[in-house]
């Protein structure tokens, strides 16, 4: 089992930096990081909040035009430095003679990943609790009102929610403390096909729900009058969130990647798989939402209300629900480890303390902030930060400020600051494709990110 991770004297990196072995390990780990709550929970609900197809189309364009090139750039940055995101950026700054102030750019992915993890763990905790509810038969024969009641009941019970959050954070910390990410990545090899199969089964159900055509139209017939700068900014943030970009997750994984693995192929495969899964989930959820008269804009509870409802009315529905929410929890876990790893790796480089100790401290702090996020659904719902509750504020700051900024850092550092021959060496592809990649990260990505961010924050209007 431990065979899969060795310390290597990798070019440009510390001699004790681990490298994952096994042909598929990086592909699996990166897919595990990308596919998570973003695809299953967030994509359907923010699509519903933003009116459907036009939002979906913008998200697809962002994934293809910005996401794929950035994924390659981020993997390349990580593999060539074989260090944590902060050190990667700092090394390039020193090499280039850039001012110390630019080291701040290296902090963006570090802070961003941890701030996402605070609320990510709370939602992942919901999926753990839903496994339990399904086992208890709470959803058998349930109707729309009942399903809504279960969900609002959960939001109201701080203690239960904190329990789910605590268990999930403990699982994440356990894996990271043992440095067992590569081992976990292996299980993605069979869990991802299982998740896809489950989505296909549920798709089969939603096709016969009576409202499939309406669901498809909702997702794929755009009405651009509904598009606002805020929606475009949310689509951009989500494209990055869903692909795990700009937060150092893909960068640290890149730093564990073997030299002979092909970054362009791996990066593109991960990005496309991730997008297909999100669209598949949309196709599962919206027909059910329409068939049962739920609101597409129901918010964060959308899948927690619609899936149990659909499954609960099938023979063996409880089993389906258990399997589905277990897969959600696992997908979330394979993402949350990639959110904790960048910070643990960064501290490990700087402090002479054991990995478990560092992990417990970082995870403990994140867990505490997560509790505040959980309480913002109930006891602390009066507390507002710039008009938003704690959960929404964390989601907004990380999704629409830190993620695009992190994307910008990856684009600028891989496209402009990193030594050109070093990145060329990482991205094994034809000269023509490399030129396209370069144009994408040097010009298109920074320009679009800046425009979209300024529009989303209301600083410019278009
Ligand atoms: N991509 C993950 C998801 O879609 O659930 C979330 C995520 C993981 C975001 C790692 C950012 C990250 F660095």
The DSSP line for 172-187 is: HHHHHHTT-HHHHHHH
Measured from the Cα of 403, ligand 1's closest atom is 11
DSSP 238-261: HHHHHHTTTSSHHHHHHHTS-TTS
Q: How far is the CA of 117 from the centre of ligand 1 (A)?
A: 9
Q: Show pLDDT as tens, one digit a residue, over the chain (462 residues).
A: 333 556 654 444 445 688 888 778 888 899 999 999 999 999 999 999 998 999 999 999 999 999 999 999 999 999 999 999 999 999 999 999 999 999 999 999 999 999 999 999 999 999 999 999 999 999 998 999 999 999 999 999 999 999 999 999 999 999 999 887 877 777 787 888 888 888 888 888 888 877 999 999 999 999 888 789 989 999 999 999 999 999 999 999 999 999 999 999 999 999 999 999 999 999 999 998 999 888 899 889 999 999 998 888 888 889 989 999 999 999 999 999 999 999 999 999 999 999 999 999 999 999 999 999 999 999 999 999 888 999 999 999 998 899 999 999 999 999 999 999 999 999 999 999 999 999 999 999 999 999 999 988 888 776
Measured from the Cα of 338, ligand 1's closest atom is 10
Q: How far is the CA of 166 from the centre of ligand 1 (A)?
A: 19
Nearest one of 238, 305, 221 to 275, comparing CA atoms? 238
As for ligand 1, residues whose beta carbon falls within 6 Å of it are 33-34, 36-39, 113, 116, 241-242, 244, 247, 249, 335, 338-339
The model's pTM = 0.93
Q: How far is the CA of 38 from the centre of ligand 1 (A)?
A: 7
Q: How far is the CA of 33 from the centre of ligand 1 (A)?
A: 6
The Cα 416–Cα 45 span in angstroms is 36
Q: How far is the CA of 217 from the centre of ligand 1 (A)?
A: 28
Task: Residue count of the chain, please give it.
Answer: 462
Measured from the Cα of 109, ligand 1's closest atom is 13
Measured from the Cα of 36, ligand 1's closest atom is 5
The Cα 83–Cα 10 span in angstroms is 10
Which residues are CB-contacts of 69 (< 8 A; sequence separation ≥ 6)? 411, 437, 440, 441, 445
């Amino acid at each position: 089992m431990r065979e899969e991770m060795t310390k290597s004297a990798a070019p440009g990196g510390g001699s004790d930096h681990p490298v994952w072995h096994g042909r598929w390990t990086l592909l699996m780990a990166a897919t595990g990081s990308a596919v998570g709550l973003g695809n299953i929970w967030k994509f359907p609900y923010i699509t519903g909040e933003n009116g459907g197809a036009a939002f979906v189309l913008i998200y697809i364009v962002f994934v293809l035009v910005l996401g794929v090139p950035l994924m390659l750039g981020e993997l390349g940055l990580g593999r060539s430095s074989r260090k944590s995101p902060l050190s990667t950026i700092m090394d390039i700054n020193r090499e280039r003679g850039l001012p110390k102030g630019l080291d701040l750019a290296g902090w963006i992915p570090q802070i961003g990943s941890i701030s996402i993890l605070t609320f990510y763990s709370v939602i992942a905790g919901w999926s753990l609790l839903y496994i339990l509810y399904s086992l208890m038969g709470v959803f058998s024969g349930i109707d729309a009102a009942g399903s809504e009641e279960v969900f609002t009941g959960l939001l109201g019970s701080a203690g239960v929610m904190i329990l789910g959050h605590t268990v999930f954070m403990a699982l994440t910390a356990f894996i990271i403390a043992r440095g067992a990410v590569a081992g976990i990545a292996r299980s993605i090899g069979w869990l991802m096909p299982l998740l896809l199969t489950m989505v296909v089964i549920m798709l089969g159900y939603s096709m016969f729900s009576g409202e499939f055509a309406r669901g498809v139209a909702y997702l794929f017939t755009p009405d651009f009058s509904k598009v606002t700068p805020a929606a475009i900014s949310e689509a951009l943030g989500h494209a990055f969130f869903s692909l795990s970009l700009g937060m150092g997750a893909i960068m640290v994984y890149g730093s564990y990647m073997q030299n002979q693995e092909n970054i362009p192929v791996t990066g593109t495969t991960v990005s496309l798989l991730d997008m297909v899964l999100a669209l598949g989930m949309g196709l599962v959820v919206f027909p059910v939402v329409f068939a049962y008269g739920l609101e597409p804009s129901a918010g964060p509870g959308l899948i927690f209300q619609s899936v149990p409802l659909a499954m609960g009315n099938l023979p063996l529905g409880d089993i389906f629900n258990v399997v589905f929410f277990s897969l959600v929890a696992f997908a979330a876990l394979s993402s949350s480890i990639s959110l904790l790893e960048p910070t643990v790796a960064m501290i490990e480089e700087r402090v002479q303390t054991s990995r478990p100790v560092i992990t417990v401290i970082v995870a403990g702090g994140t867990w505490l902030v997560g509790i505040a996020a959980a309480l913002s659904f109930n006891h602390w719902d009066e507390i507002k930060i710039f008009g938003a509750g704690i959960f929404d504020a964390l989601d907004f700051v990380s999704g629409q400020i830190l993620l695009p900024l992190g994307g910008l850092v990856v684009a600028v550092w891989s496209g402009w600051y990193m030594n050109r021959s070093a990145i060329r060496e990482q991205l094994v592809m034809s000269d023509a494709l490399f030129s396209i990649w370069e144009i994408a990260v040097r010009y298109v990505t920074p320009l679009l990110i800046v425009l979209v961010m300024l529009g989303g924050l209301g600083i410019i209007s278009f």
